Chains A and B, each alone.
Chain A
Amino acid sequence: LAKTTQPISMDSYEGQEVNITCSHNNIATNDYITWYQQFPSQGPRFIIQGYKTKVTNEVASLFIPADRKSSTLSLPRVSLSDTAVYYCLVGDPRGRRDDKIIFGKGTRLHILP
């Protein structure tokens, strides 16, 4: 059973803000939401992680509503180089031994000029 659900693909234009939403209806109390970015021919890269409300770093922002059943990765003013696959994962970062890391298929973001 998939832990998360994301759109398969999205298109946007350079300079726009892009929001990618992830659904995780069965998120557990101790679970965090983690996002990765993967460029073609490269390994995934950790972007951001959060538990509730809002987290921001130099790359992106992560918005998590109070019920935590979904989250939104926000990329400000995207460029062509942001074209990549974005993965949403949920799990306990303290690492329960029985936890299963599932990347899923991710969201393929295509930035147009």
Chain B
Amino acid sequence: DAGVIQSPRHEVTEMGQEVTLRCKPISGHNSLFWYRQTMMRGLELLIYFNNNVPIDDSGMPEDRFSAKMPNASFSTLKIQPSEPRDSAVYFCASSLARSSGPSYEQYFGPGTRLTVT
């Protein structure tokens, strides 16, 4: 079985550019999470979806960040405009949610390493 798929694996962009990160969850999973990891702040939950609906976006740092899940097999995290402080590894995870809240048994993708210069 394919795990969570993320693309691109690495992204280098200049400040002010739009960045789009992509995620394909595990087939059959109905919950999807976006995380950001930095040395300073550790692993932070940005937003999660249940059944394609955003449930908690309180971790999204500011309006420059947006996430969508148009269908059960695809999600995007967009940063517009990007800034150097957005440089981090962004992980997508999926799980099988049994209720409206977040599942604690999640399966993570390999991450996208974003560098904004």
Contacts and interface: CB of A to CB of B under 8 A. Distances in A.
Interface string A89-113: 1011111111111111110000000
Given A95-B97, A103-B43, A34 B104 contact: yes
Nearest to A91: B104
Interface of A is mostly: loop
B42 A106 contact: yes
Residue from A32, A95, A103 whose CB has the most chain B CB atoms within 10 Å? A95
Interface residues of B, number: 27
A32 B101 CA distance: 14
B31 to A, nearest CB: 8
B108 A32 contact: no
Interface of B: 4, 33, 35, 42-45, 48, 55-56, 91, 93, 97-111
